[in-house]
Amino acid sequence: MPDGLPTEIDLTRPSAARVYDYFLGGAHNFEIDRQLAEQIASMTPNLAATMRSGREFLRRAVRALLDAGIDQFLDIGSGIPTVGNVHEVAQGVNPKARVVYVDIDPVAVAHSRELLAGNELTGVIHADLRDPERILAETRRLGLIDFSRPVGILLAGVVHFIPDADGPEAILATLRDAAAPGSFLVISHSTFEDQPQEMLDAQRLSARTDTEITLRSRAQVTGFFGDWTVLEPGVVHMPLWRPDSPSDVDEHPERFGAFGAVARYDQPAG
């Protein structure tokens, strides 16, 4: 296998994580992934910018959580490590910040473990978001995250891979229920709202990977936060979520095709 990767990795089908890595300029992808990526890019020329916008939203959200005092992060659907990953952002501000990465893709997990070798404040779990109890149990076993304290749960660009039939609402509720008051939930999610037909057609190509995308409305994405307090500016197109500068937002922030938002678990009354 290339790079000594596990033999169970299927190189006959493109991987969503590896396609994402390709669009971000990473090196952990194969020809089958690049072919699909180029086909998608031919239909939506700004898709690489969309991927970068998603990563930039995540970085801004992580910085906001750090400002709120969060020092432990559970990043589910983390993908293949690229520059500016959560641990780099978090530990660049707080060297004691702890990060656990979770991904379903064995390639993403293999490269994460290689990259993070020697960083004792990070851990990597190979698991499926559709099994949140396992994710929580394995995270506890790692001993890096204390769920009795506030935690940042990061779901950037991953919930849209869960079809309605698999009950994403219940999955999100399980994760929220495990968190202590003062915790935060970060979600970015692809949408059909305000999107041109060519973007919708490109999204349908995701059916060729093992992780097909389900596009959802702003109302549906908002529902994933349950009764947590959604922070300003609410559930908005990703570039509109607390941009570093007004110049970072162009005239058509909706062109990136995804919403982003952050919510806080406030102490229940009584």
pLDDT digits (tens, 9 = 90+) for 86-137: 999 999 999 999 999 999 988 788 878 888 889 999 999 999 999 999 999 9
Q: Is the model's pLDDT at 2 over the cut of 70?
A: no
Across 64-91, average pLDDT: 91
What is the residue-wise DSSP string for the chain? -GGG--TT--SSS--HHHHHHHHTT-S---HHHHHHHHHHHHH-TTHHHHHHHHHHHHHHHHHHHHHTT--EEEEET--S--TT-HHHHHHHH-TT-EEEEEES-HHHHHHHHHHHTT-TTEEEEE--TT-HHHHHHHHHHHT---TTS--EEEEET-GGGS-GGG-HHHHHHHHHHTSPTT-EEEEEEE--TT--HHHHHHHHGGGGSSS------HHHHHHTTTTSEEPTT-SEEGGGSS-SSGGGS-S-GGGG-EEEEEEE-PPPP-
Domain segments of the chain as ranges: 47-197+214-265
Q: What's the mean per-residue pLDDT of the chain?
A: 88
Could you read off the pLDDT of 139-165 as tens digits, one per residue? 999 999 999 999 999 999 999 999 999
23-27, 140-144, 188-192, 229-233: the lowest-pLDDT one: 23-27
CA pair distance 211, 214, nearest whole angstrom: 10
Q: Is the model's pLDDT at 184 over the cut of 90?
A: yes
* 122, β-bridge pairs: 99
* Encoded tokens for 86: 């959560």
What pLDDT is attached to residue 261? 98
Nearest to 157 by CA among 73, 252, 55: 55
- Model confidence at 46, pLDDT cuts 50, 70, 90, reads low
Across 226-233, average pLDDT: 98
What pLDDT is attached to residue 246? 86
Fold for 47-197+214-265, please state it: Rossmann fold (3.40.50)
Is 124:112 a contact under the CB 8 Å cutoff? yes
Burial class for 250, CB neighbours closer than 10 Å (0-12, 13-18, 19+): exposed
What pLDDT is attached to residue 1? 47
Nearest to 12 by CA among 1, 27, 4, 26: 1
What pLDDT is attached to residue 203? 63
